[in-house]
Chains A and B, each alone.
Chain A
């Protein structure tokens, strides 16, 4: 998949993680890593850019083991940005779904129709 495309999706995923609760860097990365293949994109730069742009703020929390953890918290600006990306995504994915599922979701039926058509044309 094209890296630029995927970056947009990861941005939306980072926003979606932080819309629910404040979280620290390692846990955010882990959460995404467990569900999607992020190897070609690094999450940290996205997190940092969203923070620099005022979509998140950070604060420190003492942890049991050693260094305090840096927590990220979504701002109101971040929430609005999340809403707009989410809406675009829904619209986009809705369109994609519409196109790819026009012939239904059953692979055997799609294959049957495909085969019929191929055979018809080769007979001619």
Chain B
């Protein structure tokens, strides 16, 4: 057997790797070595490409057990800041990257920020001025290119119920959001892959944009809702929309149960809408191949204002 493979095997055995894992790694290297030799490279030259066996083994053992200790540390939330509201109205602007966020009512009359995670909290830009709370991921926070991926932070923001919660503006990349038991005039969500769960709340206007993140909404009362998604799914349950619901998606599916709206504007490429007990007055439907199925127990007529589709179908059964 070739010296490189032999050496690698020896080095791998020094690390705490399972036999199956070692076998797998050796197999991969034998295959790669074969390719290299077939191309006419010398064994000595190939090592330059693959790296030193001792180093490979060390790196592999590091990657196979990124310690659980790291993940276990800081498992409880700690209070970072507490503010006494300075105004009657309250606005929240959140700009996060990967940090998960919960927004919930406060038990008393204080605004609170709690966190857990290994990132340095002092580096976050957090301020409360003129009734507006800002929280932002530091631009030059420790680079995830150069760190373990276990440092991720989680935040909780608590807002007193007495405050007039005017706007909530959340930006995230992969941050998950949970929002519950609040009354907010304008809730805007912009996220790439973060999932959102909004429940038991009253919202006046709402705009939710995601790329691949899923949206879940339950037990909500909303005046107007505009949702725009690419591949994420939308799930509405017991959502009462006073006037307009507008949904546009590329391939995300929509699932609606026990909900109400006045007019629905549904724009899809291949995403389907599946609705049960979804009471609406009218619908505009535009699709390429996505279907729209509405099945209601009560026979309230739904008028189809416009429907255009290439191969998708609209079925309304009551």
Contact = CB atoms under 8 A, between A and B. Distances in A.
B192 interface: yes
Interface residues of B, number: 35
B59 A45 contact: yes
Contact of A70 (B31, B34, B55, B63): B31
A41 B51 contact: yes
B77 interface: no
Main secondary structure of the interface of A (DSSP, over half): helix
A119 interface: no
A90 to B, nearest CB: 11
Contacts of A46: 59, 63
Interface string A61-86: 00001110110000010001001110
B32 A38 contact: no
B145 interface: yes
Contacts of B93: none
Contacts of A29: 32, 49-50
B174 interface: yes
B193 interface: yes
Interface string B131-155: 0000000011001111000000000
B145 A67 contact: no
Contacts of B146: 4-5, 7-8
B64 interface: yes
Contacts of A5: 145-146
Contact of B51 (A43, A49, A91): A43
Interface residues of A, number: 42
Given A26-B36, A42-B56, A48 B63 contact: yes
B104 interface: no
B225 interface: no
Contacts of B38: 65
A18 interface: no
Contacts of A70: 28, 31
B44 to A, nearest CB: 13
Nearest to A53: B149
A42 B50 contact: yes
A61 B183 CA distance: 56
Given A8-B143, A84-B98, A84-B174, A42 B55 contact: yes
Contacts of B97: 84
B145 A44 contact: no
Interface in B1-57: 25, 28-29, 31-32, 34-36, 38, 48-52, 55-56
B60 interface: yes
A110 interface: no
Contacts of A38: 49, 51
A57 B144 CA distance: 22
Contact of B28 (A39, A44, A66, A88): A44
A30 B49 contact: yes
A11 interface: yes
B212 interface: yes
Interface string B60-77: 101110000000000000
Q: What 7 A-B pairs come out closest when comparing CB atoms? A: A42-B51, A8-B145, A45-B59, A49-B63, A26-B35, A26-B32, A42-B56
Interface of A: 4-5, 7-9, 11-12, 24-27, 29-30, 33, 38-46, 48-49, 52, 65-67, 69-70, 76, 80, 83-85, 87-89, 91-92, 95
Given A24-B35, A44-B56, 12 more contacts: A9-B145, A44-B32, A44-B50, A48-B28, A48-B63, A49-B63, A70-B31, A76-B212, A84-B97, A84-B98, A87-B173, A88-B143
28 contacts: A5-B145, A5-B146, A7-B146, A8-B146, A29-B32, A29-B50, A33-B48, A39-B48, A42-B50, A42-B56, A44-B50, A44-B56, A45-B60, A46-B63, A48-B60, A48-B63, A49-B63, A65-B38, A66-B34, A67-B34, A76-B212, A76-B231, A80-B174, A80-B193, A84-B144, A87-B173, A88-B144, A91-B139
